[in-house]
C-alpha cells in the first residue's frame, strides 16, 4: 500500500503561536522536506499575505527532487463569481502543480460562519475545483470539519464530498479540524464513507484531544492513501498530526510505502533542524525523534537493554536516525555506570571497589541537587578523577566578584581570580555583563597562555534552577553551563547555596572537560 505524505508545516504549522517564518526560513524548510521525501509541500495561502506570494515565486528556482509544491485557498466567496474572486485568481497565479482547496463540510459552519445557504456552499466547492482543474492543477479538496459535520448531518457532509468528486478533485481529504474525533469514531465514519466516494481519500487531523496521530493511523488502516500533517506537530492551538510520528507509524507499524529507508534515517535530524529554524525547542520526549525517546535511566531497564535493546525499545533508534542513551541519576544501578564508563573509554568492572564508590558518590551528589542527566560532562570528569585517570589542571586559591549599577549606565561586573597552575600562582581580573561572564573572562586570561586550547571553546548557554524555593534567598541552586567548540557541545553542572559558587563549579568543569579532550 502506497501512502502520499502532504506536509503543511509552512501553512498550518506557521499558525503556531510563537512561530514566524521568514521567506528564507520557508525555503530552507522546503528543501529539508524534499530531502525527507514528502510528496507535497503546502507552501501557504497566496491570497492571504505578500510573504506567501513571494514564497511561490522564489520556490520556482529551488530544484526539488521529490515534492510537489502546493498552494492553499478557500473556495470562492458566497455570492461572488469565480472570475471576480481575488483569492482564487491569486491561487491560480501562483502556478503550483497542485492546489489544496478547503470547503465547509459542516452545515453549522455554512449557516453560522459563512452565513450562506447549503446549496450555495456546494456551488462554491464545485466552481472552485472546476476552475483549478481547468487551469491544469492537481486538486486536493480539504473537507473542513468533515467529522463533526458527518456526526451532525451525514447526508449533507456526503453531499459536500460528492460535489468535490463530480467537480474533478483528485484527492478528497477528510478533516478533523477541531481535533475532537477519536480513532474508533473515525474508523466507523471512514468505513461508511469510502464505499460512497470514488476518489482517493485522505486524512487531516488536529491534535486538540491528543489523538491526531492515532486517528491518522486508523484512517490509513481503513483505506485512506493520503496523510496530511506537520513536522513536530506544529499548528494552531494544540497543533496538527505530527509527521515525525506518522511516518514511522506508516513505515514500521502499518508497513505502508511512503519514504525510502535512507530518507527515513534523516527523520530525527530534519525534525531538529526545523525546530531550530522555528526557534522552538524540540520536545525531548517526542516519540521517535526526541532526545529522550530512547533514553534509559532506571537501573533495571539499563540492565535489560544491555542484554537486548528490544526489552525496552519498540523500534531500533538508528532506523529514524536517533540513538540510544543511558543516563545517570540517583535511580542508576551498576549497569548504567558500566555503560557510561565504556562510552568514556574507561575499563570498569562490576564488582570493583571503585564501581561501588562511584555509585555511592553519584547518589550523594544527586541528593545534594546535582543532575548529571543535564551535566554529563561533569559526570565524565567525576568518573575519571575518581579512578585517577584525570587530575585537576588548575586549583582555585580565591576569587572576588563585584557588580555596579549607576543610574542610566549599563550594569557592569568585575572579577579577580587567583589560581594555581603547575605549582605557580597567577592573578587576573576580568569584566563582563554579569558575574559569570566576568569570572570566565578573568580565568581565561590566566589559562589561555598556559593552555591555548581554551581559546577554541566558548560558553553558549547558562541556566539556573532553584532547588528548594521554600528556603527563599538561601535556597540551593543548580547551574547548568553549556559550552561548545567547533566539533562538540557539552554540559556541566554546579550546585551550591550561592549562585556564583555554583556557576564557578560548572565553569571549571567545562574548561577542564575541554582540556581533557584536547
- One DSSP character per residue, 143-209 reads EETHHHHHHH-HHHHHHHHHHHHHHT-SEEEEEETTS---HHHHHHHHHHHTTT--SPEEEEEB-TT
Which of 422, 450, 478 lies at the terminal end of a domain, its last residue?
450
Q: Does 138 reside within a domain? A: yes
Show the domain range for 16.
4-249
Q: Which residues neighbour 1 within 8 Å (Cβ) at sequence distance 6 or greater? A: 220, 225, 254, 255, 256, 257
Residue 212 covered by a domain: yes
Q: Quote the number of domains for the chain.
A: 2
Q: Which of 249, 271, 300 is the last residue of a domain?
A: 249
Tell me, yes or no, whether 298 lies in a domain: no
420, 450, 480: which is the final residue of a domain? Answer: 450
Q: What is the CATH number of the domain that holds 423?
A: 3.30.160.740
Q: What are phi and psi of 463, to 5 degrees?
A: -130, 140
For residue 36, tell me if it sits in a domain: yes
Is residue 152, in this structure, part of any structural domain at all? yes
From the CB of residue 431, how many other CB atoms can be counted at a distance below 10 Å? Answer: 12
Tell me whether residue 175 is in a domain.
yes
Q: Please list the residues that pair with 257 across neighbouring strands.
A: 2
Written as tens digits, the pLDDT of the chain (518 aa) is 999 999 999 999 999 999 999 999 999 999 999 999 999 999 999 988 899 999 999 999 999 999 999 999 999 999 999 999 999 999 999 999 999 999 999 999 999 999 999 999 999 999 999 999 999 999 999 999 999 999 999 999 999 999 999 999 999 999 999 999 999 999 999 999 999 999 999 999 999 999 999 999 999 999 999 999 999 999 999 999 999 999 999 999 999 999 999 999 999 999 999 998 998 888 989 999 998 899 887 777 877 887 888 899 999 999 999 988 777 665 566 777 788 888 888 888 877 888 888 888 887 888 888 878 778 899 899 888 888 888 888 999 999 999 887 766 677 889 999 999 999 999 999 998 888 899 999 999 999 999 999 999 999 889 898 887 555 556 789 999 999 998 888 999 999 999 999 999 999 999 999 998 88
Residue 185's CATH number: 3.20.20.70
Contacts of 351 (CB under 8 A, 6+ apart): none
For residue 441, being part of any structural domain is answered with yes
Give the pTM: 0.77
Residue 135 belongs to some domain of the structure: yes
Amino acid at each position: 500500500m502506497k501512502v502520499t505524505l502532504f506536509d503543511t508545516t509552512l501553512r498550518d504549522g506557521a499558525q503556531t503561536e510563537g512561530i514566524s517564518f521568514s521567506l528564507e526560513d520557508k525555503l530552507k524548510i522546503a528543501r529539508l522536506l524534499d530531502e525527507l521525501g514528502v510528496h507535497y509541500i503546502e507552501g501557504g495561502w497566496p491570497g492571504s499575505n505578500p510573504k506567501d506570494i513571494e514564497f511561490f515565486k522564489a520556490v520556482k528556482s529551488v530544484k526539488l527532487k521529490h515534492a510537489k509544491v502546493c498552494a492553499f485557498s478557500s473556495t470562492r466567496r458566497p455570492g461572488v463569481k469565480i472570475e471576480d474572486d481575488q483569492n482564487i485568481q491569486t491561487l491560480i497565479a501562483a502556478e503550483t502543480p497542485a492546489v489544496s482547496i478547503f470547503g465547509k463540510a459542516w452545515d453549522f459552519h455554512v449557516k453560522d460562519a459563512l452565513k450562506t445557504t447549503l446549496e450555495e456552499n456546494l456551488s462554491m466547492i464545485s466552481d472552485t475545483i472546476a476552475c483549478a482543474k481547468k487551469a491544469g492543477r492537481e486538486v486536493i479538496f480539504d473537507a473542513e470539519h468533515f467529522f463533526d459535520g458527518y456526526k451532525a448531518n451525514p447526508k449533507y457532509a456526503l453531499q459536500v464530498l460528492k460535489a468535490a468528486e463530480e467537480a474533478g478533485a483528485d484527492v478528497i481529504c477528510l478533516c478533523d479540524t477541531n481535533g475532537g474525533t477519536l480513532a474508533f469514531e473515525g474508523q466507523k465514519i471512514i468505513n461508511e464513507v469510502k464505499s460512497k466516494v470514488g476518489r482517493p481519500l485522505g486524512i487531516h487531523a488536529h491534535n486538540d484531544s491528543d489523538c491526531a496521530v492515532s486517528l491518522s493511523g486508523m484512517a490509513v488502516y481503513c483505506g485512506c492513501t493520503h496523510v496530511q500533517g506537520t513536522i513536530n506537530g506544529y499548528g494552531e492551538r494544540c497543533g496538527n498530526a505530527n509527521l515525525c510520528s506518522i511516518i514511522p507509524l506508516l513505515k514500521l507499524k502499518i508497513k505502508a510505502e511512503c519514504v525510502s529507508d535512507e530518507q527515513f534515517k534523516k527523520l530525527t535530524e530534519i525534525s531538529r533542524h526545523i525546530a531550530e529554524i522555528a526557534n522552538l525547542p524540540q520536545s525531548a520526549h517526542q516519540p521517535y525523534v526526541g532526545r529522550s525517546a530512547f533514553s534509559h535511566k532506571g537501573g533495571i531497564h539499563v540492565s535489560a537493554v544491555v542484554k537486548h535493546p528490544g526489552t525496552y525499545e519498540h523500534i531500533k533508534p538508528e532506523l529514524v536516525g536517533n540513538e540510544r542513551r543511558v543516563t545517570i541519576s540517583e535511580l542508576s544501578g551498576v549497569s548504567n555506570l558500566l555503560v557510561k564508563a565504556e562510552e568514556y573509554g574507561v575499563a570498569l568492572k562490576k564488582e570493583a571497589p571503585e564501581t561501588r564508590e562511584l555509585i555511592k558518590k553519584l547518589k550523594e551528589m544527586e541528593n545534594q541537587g546535582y543532575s548529571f542527566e543535564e551535566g554529563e560532562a561533569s559526570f565524565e570528569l567525576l568518573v575519571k578523577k575518581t579512578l585517577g585517570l584525570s587530575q585537576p589542571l588548575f586549583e582555585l586559591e580565591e576569587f572576588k566578584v563585584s557588580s555596579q549599577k549607576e543610574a542610566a549606565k549599563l550594569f557592569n561586573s568585575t572579577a579577580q581570580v587567583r589560581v594555581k597552575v603547575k605549582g605557580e600562582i597567577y592573578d587576573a581580573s576580568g569584566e563582563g555583563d554579569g558575574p559569570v561572564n566576568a569570572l570566565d573572562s578573568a580565568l581565561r586570561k590566566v589559562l589561555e597562555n598556559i593552555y591555548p586550547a581554551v581559546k577554541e571553546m566558548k560558553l553558549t548557554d547558562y541556566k539556573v534552577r532553584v532547588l528548594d524555593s521554600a528556603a527563599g534567598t538561601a535556597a540551593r541552586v543548580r547551574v547548568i553551563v553549556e559550552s561548545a567548540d567547533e566539533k562538540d557541545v557539552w554540559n556541566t553542572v554546579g550546585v551550591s547555596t550561592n549562585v556564583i559558587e555554583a556557576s564557578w563549579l560548572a565553569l571549571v568543569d567545562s574548561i577542564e572537560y575541554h582540556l581533557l579532550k584536547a
